[in-house]
Amino acid sequence: MSAQKSAPHELDKAFAAPELVCPAGTPAALRAAVDAGADAVYCGLTNATNARNFPGLNFSVQALEASIPYARERGTKVLLAVNSFATAPGSAMWREAVDIGARLKVDAIIVADIGVAQYASETHPDLRLHLSVQAGASSPEAIRFYCQEFGVKRVVLPRILTVPEISAIHREIPCEIEAFVFGNIGMMSEGRCSLTNYVTGLSTNMDGICSPASEVKYAEDEKGNLSAKLGNYEIDCFEKGESAGYPTICKGRYLTPARKEAYYAFEEPISLNLSSLLPELIKAGVTAFKIEGRQRSRSYVKSVVSAYRAAVDNIMEGNEPDLSTLISLTEGGKQTQGAFKSKKWR
- The 8 Å CB, 24+ separation contacts for 239-244 are 243/269, 243/332, 243/333, 243/334, 244/332
Strand partners, 288: 19, 178
Q: Which is nearer to other proteins, 63 or 265 (CB)?
A: 63
Q: Find the shortest distance in angstroms from Cβ 185 to other proteins.
A: 13
Query: Which of 182, 296, 309, 312 is close enough to bind other proteins by CB under 8 A?
Result: 296
Is residue 70 a contact residue for other proteins (CB under 8 A)? no
- By C-alpha distance, which of 21, 106, 27 is closest to 63? 27
User: Can you tell me the distance from the alpha carbon of 30 to that of 72, in angstroms, rounded to the nearest whole number?
Assistant: 12
Rounded least distance, CB 300 to other proteins, Å: 4
- Rounded distance, CA 106 to CA 120, Å? 13
Q: Pick between residue 10 and residue 220 the one whose CB is nearest to other proteins.
A: 220
Helix and strand element counts for the chain (H, E):
10, 15
319 is a contact residue toward other proteins (CB under 8 A): no
Residue of 26, 53, 76, 138 that binds other proteins (CB under 8 A) = 26
Span from 4-12, 84-92, 290-298, 307-315 in contact with other proteins (CB under 8 A): 290-298
Length of the chain: 346
37-66: contacts with other proteins (CB under 8 A): 54-57, 60
**72 near other proteins, judged by CB under 8 A:** no
* Residue 27 Cα distances to 79, 112, 212, 256, 306, angstroms: 13, 24, 22, 44, 17
* Residue of 99, 100, 102, 75 lying closest to 20 (CA atoms): 75
How far apart are the C-alpha atoms of 90 and 71, rounded to whole Å?
A: 31
Q: Which stretch binds other proteins (CB under 8 A): 24-32, 102-110, 119-127, 199-207?
A: 24-32
**Between 132 and 336, CB nearer to other proteins:** 336
Which of 244, 254, 283, 318 contacts other proteins by CB under 8 A?
244
x/- contact string, 199-238, with other proteins (CB under 8 A)? -------------xxx-xxxxx-----x-----------x
Which of 256, 253, 222, 260 is closest to 238 using CA atoms? 253
Residue 198 Cβ, how far from other proteins at the closest point, in Å? 19
**Residue 274 CB, nearest distance to other proteins (Å)?**
15
CB distance 244 to 238 below 8 Å: yes
In the bound state with other proteins, the residue whose beta carbon lies nearer, of 123 and 325, is 325
CB of 98 to other proteins, least distance (A): 24
The CA distances from residue 321 to 59, 256, 276, 278, 328, in Å, are 33, 43, 8, 9, 17
Distance, C-alpha 336 to centroid of its chain: 15
- Write out the E strands in the chain: 19-23, 40-43, 77-82, 108-111, 129-131, 154-156, 176-184, 216-220, 226-230, 233-238, 253-254, 263-264, 271-273, 286-291, 335-336
Residue nearer to other proteins on the CB measure, 25 or 285: 25
Cβ distance 128 to 146 under 8 Å? Answer: no
* 255 binding other proteins? (CB under 8 A): no
Can you tell me which of 20, 29, 68, 181 binds other proteins, judged by CB under 8 A? 29
Number of amino acids touching other proteins (CB under 8 A): 45
300 binds other proteins (CB under 8 A): yes
Give the interface segment with other proteins, choosing from 1-9, 22-30, 83-91, 93-101 (CB under 8 A). 22-30
To other proteins, the closest distance from the beta carbon of 109 in angstroms equals 23
Give contact residues for other proteins (rule: CB under 8 A): 25-29, 54-57, 60, 212-214, 216-220, 226, 238, 241-246, 270, 295-300, 303, 325, 327-336
